[in-house]
Amino acid sequence: MKILLTGVTGQVGWELQRSLMTLGKVIPVSRKYMDLTQPNSIRHIIQEVKPDLIVNPAAYTAVDKAESEPELATSINGIAPSVMAEEAKRLGAAMIHYSTDYVFDGTNTTPYTELDKPNPQNIYGKTKLAGEEAIASVGVPHLILRTSWVYGLRGKNFLLTMQKLAQEREEIKVVNDQIGAPTWSRAIAEITAQILSQAQQNVFDFLASKGGLYHLTASGQTSWYEFAQEIFAHDIQHKQRKLQRLIAITSKEYPTAASRPAYSLLNTQKLSDNFGLVIPDWQHTLQLVLAADN
């Protein structure tokens, strides 16, 4: 199987390069070779590679910056996936794409299922939803995996930000009224590979029959503040730090350009039922990440 992989310098894309290697020939493309803001660039690369599967973790993920760059966010998160889907369909290929908990408004009190109606409250969420809808409307066999609070040991994420701030500040204030599930980028990549490894027939037929929209996050739930507490409780490598006080605050006390959902837990039962796969509890996973960092 020939796999075209985008976003290879990002958190999930980097991990996918390794996880997908056993499933076929992975052709990684960075933004240097495929400009996601240029549909013709996307079409040219796909037509040249002629993949059996396009895996697209690439995204515009600067949530606050998207509020002032809606056109750029739309081109990368909304239009680019649509172009990929069109080219995949033309080639008889399939597609895997990643989306976000931010497609929801955060008013639920129980984890969102794939049947719940999206209602994004910021530009990032709106553009990611546009990408989902575009892929589905093209009619290509696909797998859309919504995940949440992605972190790891590279790129820009909450874990690395906390580690950096702890070296620089005696006091850190963290929001305690947003609830979600921190999800390791490597776990996302490994689950993706495990799903694909179940294909008895070719990937096109497999995703035509078992594909669609799925929620993929770590199990359990927490707040950003509790996530930070857990990071500092287990982050042995960074014990030599300035941090003295971790202070819980409300979202109102930490205004941002983009509104965040107060509650964005995703129900992963469909993933478990259809593929028999579950990511362990977020606390256990975090300890694995920090152990890998030591």
Catalytic residues: 124
Q: Cα–Cα distances in Å, from 133 out to 45, 114, 128, 137, 174?
A: 23, 13, 9, 6, 34
Distance between CA atoms of residues 143 and 100, nearest Å: 14
CB 192 within 8 A of CB 96: yes
Written in H, E and C, the secondary structure of 80-112 is HHHHHHHHHHHHCCEEEEEEEHHHCCCCCCCCE
Alpha-carbon span 106 to 261, nearest angstrom: 4
Nearest to 81 by CA among 136, 11, 25, 32: 136
288 vs 273: CA distance, rounded Å:
25
| Nearest partner of 153 among 71, 260, 43, 231, judged by Cα | 231
Dihedral of CA atoms 70, 76, 81, 84 in degrees, nearest 10, equals 140
End-to-end Cα, the chain, rounded Å: 36
C-alpha–C-alpha distance, residues 118 and 103, integer Å? 5
- Note whether 172 and 166 are within 8 A (CB): yes
Rg (CA), the chain: 19
